[in-house]
Structure 1
Amino acid sequence: MYYQTPSPAIADLVNLKPDPLMLFGPDRNLILMADRPSYPSIEELREPKLKLAGRLINPHTFMPHGNRGYRAPRLRNLATNEERPLLGLPAEGDYRYFNWSPSGQRFGFCRVLSTGLQVWIGELSTLQCRPIGAADLNNSLGGVPFDFVGDDQIIVRRRLLGVVRPPDDAPIIGPNVQDTSGQEGHNRTYTNLLETQHDVNLFRYYAEGQLYMVDLVSGEERPWGQPGIIAMLTASPNRAYFMISYVTEPFSFNVPYEKFGDRVEILDAEGHCLVVLAERPPQEDLPAAFGSVITGRRRFTWRSDHPAQIYWTEAQDGGDPRNEAEVRDQLFYLEPPFTGEPVPSIQLPLRFGALRWCRGDLALVMDWSWKDRRQVTRRWWPDAPERPAETWFDHNWEDNYQDPGHFVSVNLPSDHDVLLARDGGNTLVLVGEGHSPEGSRPFIDLFDVEHRTTRRVFTSAPPYYERPLFFLDEYPDWFLLAREQLTERPNFYLRNLVTDEEIELTNFPHPYPQLRDAQFEKVHYERSDGVKLFGDLHLPQGFRPGVDPPLPVLMWAYPQEFKDAEKAGQVTSSPYQFTRISPLAPLPFLASGYAVFDDFAMPIVGEGDVEPNETFIDQVQMNAEAAVRRLVDMGVADPARIYVGGHSYGAFMTAHLLAHTRLFAAGIARSGAYNRTLTPFGFQAEERNFWEVPDTYINLSPFVHANKINAPLLLIHGEEDTNSGTYPMQSKRMFAALNALGKTARLCLLPYEDHGYAAEESILHMLWEMETWMGKHSLGHSS
């Protein structure tokens, strides 16, 4: 069939202009801005793509497939409130990867051409921009393909010269053979992996590159470092040394390139290798448990407040969190020339998570445990690694009401982050969401380092929802604030923490005024076992529950696993947040007279040693029954016209609800997985494999219960879904089963689309399918 379009009220909500890119410079009065791209056309999605090592690569541009550019780059001066266009740029050009030099006297970006990416440099003094070399950057694996090294030099990653692309018609020299390793290893069902020697040759051709050091004053460009597949490059804070990671062969046929083997080196400023820090094999054989890691050196990072210290961690538990261990991870470090014995540092009882640097007597380390849903924040002394760490926070991350927030960092001229310290270094700054039963109220706390006490200095106040985003590096009394309310989209302000002075940065208008007066309510209710639930109820303007005839309702959800029933019912949003409408979410149907119960709670609780999936089906039933009962009792929902839907795991949920309840007139399942035997090494939060709990995998497969589905089910799927586990085959097989069983179903496969849908034609057609499907079906009647 041809692409279709939904009713005008819905279609008008699709192509709304998104907010522009805003990139603050080192001088925080200056912002680089550019217009974000809207949806690509289906023709753009049809551009050639190579599916290699878990990546989609555009073979013409050496870029990730579908990588589009920004338009109309310009500079905004907050002091004068003036916007000026960048000069010397081609009309209608597309641009990406905007970046400032350390001092802010220059800025860089890439121009997107039909043949690839080209670096451009702009001068702040004139806004004049110029290209640096040809459009021959290698960005096949993503990331930013250039970086400033000081103000006058950049490093760029270009394609290898003189290398010929492997021919597609190369003769087949033999079968494709793989052997087992003899070691246990659990890998999720990754897509688009390497399969043949030709794939290997193609991946090598498109992934290998050469770094070049470019002098922006003289224009000189010279090769720097060794060619190879460069996965990572970071400079030490003093820029005298660089850490680089090269992907190494043999490439794996079992995992994507992020898990390939690699070699980590330290280079000097001229690009010469000083030491090899690690040579690691592919990560194919990790234990199944969440939190499993390799046993060698991992997580290399520069110490941000030191000229050149390199840190890493090593597992002390065999890399398996199921093993008993007093010390699970330990940090080590080296200093120049990086050839001595590693210096032991802090030992951690849980799995290492992250580091936050400040100074020699103050750094923070986070470690965590999946089993306990626990994260610990510890203060330690980098210059005295023998000193015991001090626990500051020990937090269950499911307990949103007790979340202390996160410590704020600022960016140094070295392009490394350190903790924002005030009052001579005695005070740190905490920013948090402020979740509570009344809704989220983001906050800023000042944290006394010596006494470990907090003082609240900012709280979002009704009728606004205000979020502190970041503090200005050189002016730490000022922070960027996003402010919104139910009927006003987010706009940005600079706010002074001490004086409360504000500077308005943006004044974006309401993007869909036709829905400005739609009604919103955070609805609270309980399911039959007492677990507290909630959801976001959106009603058309002027509708009076209990007075006007009840409405058709679209209910949309995504299941979440919890280990604590009490924490499953915690509120994590604000009644004052702006109602943002995405065409990929259910809210467009508000424009055509539906009530929408969005993100209605779908907790799956498994307390103690009980895994949530053992009672998944019972719990989704209870969640849905409680939600439907609440909507009917409120006088909102017409019981004959209640529809349920979801995307990905929400589609999996939808199929179960149609199989195990009789609550819904029809269901909409987008890009889901319905046969869990096809994801045998885990899915979502399930760690156990199929052979450990085969009955659980089988019972949790909606495909097995297809004979129980009586309500009409619409299946939508992107034909080129690369998400782990949600192959298009999942929807095809589910539809085939429903068809053979005489059920009412429809399968819509969207050409060229991935797990999320991108093209305007696809999104409009998806909305048409959903609108038509719900319009045709009600309980007791299908047309």
Structure 2
Amino acid sequence: MLYQRPPDAIADLVNLKPDPLMLFGPDRDYIIIADRPMYPGINELKEPKVKLAGRQINPSNFTPYGSRGFFNPRLQRVSTGTDLAFRGLPDGAMFRYFSWSPDGSRIAFCEVTGHGLQLWTAERDTLNCTRVGGNDINNSLGGVPYDFIGNDRFLIKRQIAGVEKPVDSETVTGPKVQDSSGKEGANRTYTNLLQSDYDVRLFHYYATSQLYLHRLDTGNETAWAEPGIIAGLGDSPNGKWFVITYVVEPFSFNVPYDKFADKVLLLDREGNEVRELARRPIVEHLPPAFGAVITEPRRYSWRSDHPAQLYWTEALDDGDPRKQADYREQLFYLEAPFTGEPRKSIRLPLRFGALRWGRGDLAIAVDWEWSSRRQVTRRWFPDDPQREPEVLFDHNWEDNYNDPGNVVTVSLPSDHSILLTRDAGETLILIGNGHSPEGPQPFVDAFNLTSHERKRLWESTPPYFERPLFFLDEDPDRFLLAREQSNERPNFFLRHLTSGEELRITDFPHPYPQLRNSQYELVTYQRSDGVQLSGELHTPEGFDPGKDAPLPILMWAYPQEYKDADKAGQVLTSSHQFRRVSPLSPLPFLAAGYAVFDDFAMPIVGEGDEEPNETFIEQVRMNARAAVHKLVEMGVADPNRIYVGGHSYGAFMTAHLLAHTNLFAGGIARSGAFNRTLTPFGFQAEERTFWQVPDTYVRLSPFVHADKIDSPLLLIHGEEDSNSGTYPVQSKRMFTALDNLGKTARLCLLPYEDHGYAAEESILHMLWEMYRWMEMYRKEGKKVMKRKPLTTSTGH
């Protein structure tokens, strides 16, 4: 069929102007601003792609498939309000990867061309733009393909000159053979993997690159380090040493490239190898438990407050969190000139999470454990690694009400980050969401390292919802603030922490004034076993429940697993927040007169030794019944026109609700998985494999319960879904089952689309399918046209 459009009231919400890119310079007085494009047309999605080692690559220009960029770059000065355009750029060009030099005097960015990325640079004070080398940058594996080395040099990742693309031989020389290793392991259902020897050669061709050192003062560019498949590069704070990671053969046909074998090297400033730090095998057979890691050294990083001290960690439990161990991680370090043996630093009882650096007697380490949902923040002493770390915070990450917040860091001229402190280094600054039963109130706290006392320095104040984003410098007096209200989109301000003085940075208008006066309410209720629930209720402007007739309503959710029933019911949204209307959300249907119950709580609780999935069906049923009862009781929902839907895991939930309840007039399941035997090594938060709990996998497959689905089900799926576990075959098989069982169902496959939908035509057609489906069916299963349909145009 031809692409269709939904009613104009819905379609008008698709291509609204998005917020621009904003990138502050190091001195925070200048902001790079660039406009974001609207949704691409379907022809853009038809651009060529090759699928290799878990990546989708545009073969024309050695970039990730679907990479678009920004346009109309300009520079805004905060103190004067001036807004100046970049000079000398080609008309209509798209750009990516904007960055500042460490001292903020220079800007760099890449133009997206048909053959590769072209690096440009401009002086901040003139904005005169010049090209840096040719347009042969290799960015096939993603990331930023260049880096400032000081303020006047670049390291640039380029294609290998003179190498011809391999040709696929039509000669068949034998079968494809793989042997098992005899080792236990659990890999999720990865997509776009290597399939043949030709794929191996093709991956080499697209992924192999050569680093070049470009000097702006002379324009000279020389090869730096050895060519190879570069997976990572990081420089020391003093700029004299580099850690580089190369992907090496043998490759794997079972996992993506980030799990391939690799080697980690230490290089000097000229790109010469100083030391091989590690050589690691393919990661195909990790233990199945969450938190399993390799036994080799991993997570190499530089200590930010030291000229050249390199850290990494190694597992002490064979990488298996199922094993009992007093300590699971040992940190090691080396420092210049890197000729000695690695030295031990602290040990961590849980799995290593992150490091934040401050000074010789102050660093922060975070470690965590999945089974208990526990996260511990520790203060430790890098210059005295034998000293026992001090626990600052030990909390359950499901417990949002008691989340202590995150330590704040600031950038140094070396482009490395250190902790922001006050009171001669004795006080940390924390930023948090401030969740509570009344909703979140973000905050800025001071935390004393000696007494562990907290002092509230600032918090969001109703009727606004305000979020601190980052502090401007090491003197914690000014920070960037995003402020919004329920009917006002976020805008940005500079705020003085103690005086309260503010400077407005942006003045974005309301993006969809036609919905400005739609109504929002955070609805709280309780399910039958006492778990507290909530959801975001949106109703059209002027709707008065109890007086006006109940509305058709679309309920939209995504299940979340918890280990604690009390924490499952915590309120995580504020009634003062601005509700963005994404075309991929259910909110556009407000414009067509529907009520929307968005993100209604769908907790799946498994306390103690019980796994959440053992009672998944029973719990989604309880959640849905409680929500529907509340909406009908409020006089909001027409009982005969309640529809339920979700995307991905929400689609899985939707199919179960239609199979195990009679609450809904119909369902909408987008890009879902319906047969769990096709994801046998785990899914979502399920750690156990199919062979450990086959009955659970079978029972949790909506495909098995297709005969119980009596309400109409609309299935939508991207034809090129590369998400782990949600192959398009999932929806195809589900539709075939429903079709052959005589059920009412419809399958819409969107050409060239991935797990999320990108093209304007696809999004408009998706909305048309959803609107048409809900307009056609009521709970009795009869076709209806109860309300006068809005104007619909076709053949887009």
TM-score, reference length from structure 2: 0.98
Once the two structures are TM-superposed, the CA of residue 176 in structure 1 deviates from its matched residue by 1.3
Which residue in 2 is equivalent to 1:689? 689
Residue 615 of structure 2 aligns to a residue in which SS?
helix
Which residue in 1 is equivalent to 2:14? 14
Q: 8 Å contact 2:712–2:781 — kept in the other structure?
A: no
Q: Counterpart amino acid of 2:151?
A: D
Residue 704 of structure 1 aligns to a residue in which SS?
helix
Aligned counterparts of 1:450 and 1:641: Cα–Cα separation in 2:
60
Residue 697 of structure 1 aligns to a residue in which SS?
helix
Listed as ranges, the gaps of 5+ residues in structure 2 are 784-796
Once the two structures are TM-superposed, the CA of residue 364 in structure 1 deviates from its matched residue by 0.6
Q: Counterpart amino acid of 2:472?
A: L
Aligned counterparts of 2:79 and 2:560: Cα–Cα separation in 1:
46
Which residue in 2 is equivalent to 1:95? 95
Q: Counterpart amino acid of 1:42?
A: I
Which residue in 2 is equivalent to 1:317? 317
Which residue in 2 is equivalent to 1:63? 63
Once the two structures are TM-superposed, the CA of residue 475 in structure 1 deviates from its matched residue by 4.9
Q: Map of 1:169-568 to 2, 5 A cutoff?
A: 169-473=169-473, 475-568=475-568
Once the two structures are TM-superposed, the CA of residue 599 in structure 1 deviates from its matched residue by 0.3
For residues 154-211 of structure 1, what are the alpha-carbon distances to aligned partners after superposition, in whole Å with 9 as ceiling and x for unaligned?
A: 0000000111101134533222111111101100000010010011010010000000
Which residue in 1 is equivalent to 2:129? 129
Q: 8 Å contact 2:680–2:689 — kept in the other structure?
A: yes
For residues 251-299 of structure 1, what are the alpha-carbon distances to aligned partners after superposition, in whole Å with 9 as ceiling and x for unaligned?
A: 1111111111110011000000000110001110100000000011011
Listed as ranges, the gaps of 5+ residues in structure 1 are none
2:670 counterpart of 1:675 = no
Aligned counterparts of 2:531 and 2:10: Cα–Cα separation in 1:
35
Q: Counterpart amino acid of 1:125?
A: D
Q: 8 Å contact 1:86–1:127 — kept in the other structure?
A: yes
Q: 8 Å contact 2:528–2:622 — kept in the other structure?
A: yes
Aligned counterparts of 2:125 and 2:6: Cα–Cα separation in 1:
50
Q: Counterpart amino acid of 1:93?
A: A
Aligned counterparts of 1:576 and 1:90: Cα–Cα separation in 2:
43
Once the two structures are TM-superposed, the CA of residue 765 in structure 1 deviates from its matched residue by 0.2
For residues 569-601 of structure 1, what are the alpha-carbon distances to aligned partners after superposition, in whole Å with 9 as ceiling and x for unaligned?
A: 000111100011000000000010000000000
Q: 8 Å contact 1:274–1:337 — kept in the other structure?
A: no
Q: 8 Å contact 2:378–2:393 — kept in the other structure?
A: yes
For residues 8-59 of structure 1, what are the alpha-carbon distances to aligned partners after superposition, in whole Å with 9 as ceiling and x for unaligned?
A: 0000000011111010011211001100122111000000000100100000
Q: 8 Å contact 2:255–2:284 — kept in the other structure?
A: yes
Residue 493 of structure 1 aligns to a residue in which SS?
strand
Aligned counterparts of 1:21 and 1:475: Cα–Cα separation in 2:
26
Q: 8 Å contact 2:375–2:397 — kept in the other structure?
A: yes
**Which segment drifts farther, 235-244 or 475-484?**
475-484
Residue 135 of structure 1 aligns to a residue in which SS?
strand
Aligned counterparts of 2:28 and 2:522: Cα–Cα separation in 1:
38
Q: Map of 1:607-622 to 2, 5 A cutoff?
A: 607-622=607-622
Aligned counterparts of 1:74 and 1:604: Cα–Cα separation in 2:
47
Aligned counterparts of 1:393 and 1:69: Cα–Cα separation in 2:
40
Q: Counterpart amino acid of 1:661?
A: T
Residue 136 of structure 1 aligns to a residue in which SS?
strand
**Which segment drifts farther, 767-776 or 253-262?**
253-262
Which residue in 2 is equivalent to 1:37? 37
Q: 8 Å contact 2:153–2:215 — kept in the other structure?
A: yes
Q: 8 Å contact 1:380–1:388 — kept in the other structure?
A: yes
Aligned counterparts of 2:698 and 2:646: Cα–Cα separation in 1:
21
Q: 8 Å contact 2:316–2:330 — kept in the other structure?
A: yes
Q: Counterpart amino acid of 1:309?
A: Q
Aligned counterparts of 1:476 and 1:182: Cα–Cα separation in 2:
56
Aligned counterparts of 1:415 and 1:611: Cα–Cα separation in 2:
44
Aligned counterparts of 2:372 and 2:69: Cα–Cα separation in 1:
43
Q: 8 Å contact 2:711–2:781 — kept in the other structure?
A: no
Q: Counterpart amino acid of 1:625?
A: R
Q: 8 Å contact 2:24–2:30 — kept in the other structure?
A: yes
Aligned counterparts of 2:305 and 2:18: Cα–Cα separation in 1:
37
Q: Counterpart amino acid of 1:573?
A: T
**Which segment drifts farther, 475-484 or 759-768?**
475-484
Q: 8 Å contact 1:412–1:473 — kept in the other structure?
A: no
Aligned counterparts of 2:126 and 2:611: Cα–Cα separation in 1:
62
Residue 692 of structure 1 aligns to a residue in which SS?
coil
Which residue in 2 is equivalent to 1:588? 588
Once the two structures are TM-superposed, the CA of residue 612 in structure 1 deviates from its matched residue by 0.2
Residue 305 of structure 1 aligns to a residue in which SS?
coil
Q: Counterpart amino acid of 1:525?
A: Y
Aligned counterparts of 1:346 and 1:781: Cα–Cα separation in 2:
64
Q: 8 Å contact 1:667–1:713 — kept in the other structure?
A: yes
Residue 37 of structure 1 aligns to a residue in which SS?
coil
For residues 635-662 of structure 1, what are the alpha-carbon distances to aligned partners after superposition, in whole Å with 9 as ceiling and x for unaligned?
A: 0000000000000000000000000000
Once the two structures are TM-superposed, the CA of residue 781 in structure 1 deviates from its matched residue by 3.6
Aligned counterparts of 1:701 and 1:753: Cα–Cα separation in 2:
25
Which residue in 1 is equivalent to 2:706? 706
For residues 237-259 of structure 1, what are the alpha-carbon distances to aligned partners after superposition, in whole Å with 9 as ceiling and x for unaligned?
A: 00000010000111111111111
Aligned counterparts of 2:567 and 2:14: Cα–Cα separation in 1:
36
Once the two structures are TM-superposed, the CA of residue 124 in structure 1 deviates from its matched residue by 1.3
Which residue in 2 is equivalent to 1:573? 573
For residues 331-371 of structure 1, what are the alpha-carbon distances to aligned partners after superposition, in whole Å with 9 as ceiling and x for unaligned?
A: 00001122311110101111110001000000010000000
Residue 137 of structure 2 aligns to a residue in which SS?
coil
2:776 counterpart of 1:780 = no
Once the two structures are TM-superposed, the CA of residue 474 in structure 1 deviates from its matched residue by 5.1
Residue 782 of structure 1 aligns to a residue in which SS?
coil
For residues 457-507 of structure 1, what are the alpha-carbon distances to aligned partners after superposition, in whole Å with 9 as ceiling and x for unaligned?
A: 101010000000001125531100000000000000001112111000000
Which residue in 1 is equivalent to 2:788? none
Q: Counterpart amino acid of 1:778?
A: R
Residue 367 of structure 2 aligns to a residue in which SS?
strand
Aligned counterparts of 1:525 and 1:476: Cα–Cα separation in 2:
41
For residues 542-580 of structure 1, what are the alpha-carbon distances to aligned partners after superposition, in whole Å with 9 as ceiling and x for unaligned?
A: 001011100000000000000000000000111100011
Runs ≥4 residues deviating over 3 A: none
Aligned counterparts of 1:500 and 1:203: Cα–Cα separation in 2:
55
Once the two structures are TM-superposed, the CA of residue 115 in structure 1 deviates from its matched residue by 1.3
Q: 8 Å contact 2:480–2:495 — kept in the other structure?
A: yes
For residues 43-92 of structure 1, what are the alpha-carbon distances to aligned partners after superposition, in whole Å with 9 as ceiling and x for unaligned?
A: 00000000100100000010000100200000001111010000010111
Which residue in 1 is equivalent to 2:790? none
Residue 520 of structure 1 aligns to a residue in which SS?
strand
For residues 691-738 of structure 1, what are the alpha-carbon distances to aligned partners after superposition, in whole Å with 9 as ceiling and x for unaligned?
A: 000000000000000000000000000000000000000000000000
Which residue in 2 is equivalent to 1:653? 653
Residue 640 of structure 2 aligns to a residue in which SS?
strand
For residues 496-546 of structure 1, what are the alpha-carbon distances to aligned partners after superposition, in whole Å with 9 as ceiling and x for unaligned?
A: 112111000000000000111111000000000000000000000000101
Aligned counterparts of 2:214 and 2:515: Cα–Cα separation in 1:
52
Which residue in 2 is equivalent to 1:644? 644
Aligned counterparts of 2:667 and 2:727: Cα–Cα separation in 1:
20
Aligned counterparts of 2:477 and 2:775: Cα–Cα separation in 1:
55
Aligned counterparts of 2:205 and 2:531: Cα–Cα separation in 1:
55
Aligned counterparts of 2:209 and 2:779: Cα–Cα separation in 1:
60
Q: Counterpart amino acid of 2:567?
A: K
Aligned counterparts of 2:308 and 2:72: Cα–Cα separation in 1:
39
Aligned counterparts of 2:243 and 2:781: Cα–Cα separation in 1:
65
Q: Percent identity?
A: 67
Aligned counterparts of 1:279 and 1:14: Cα–Cα separation in 2:
49
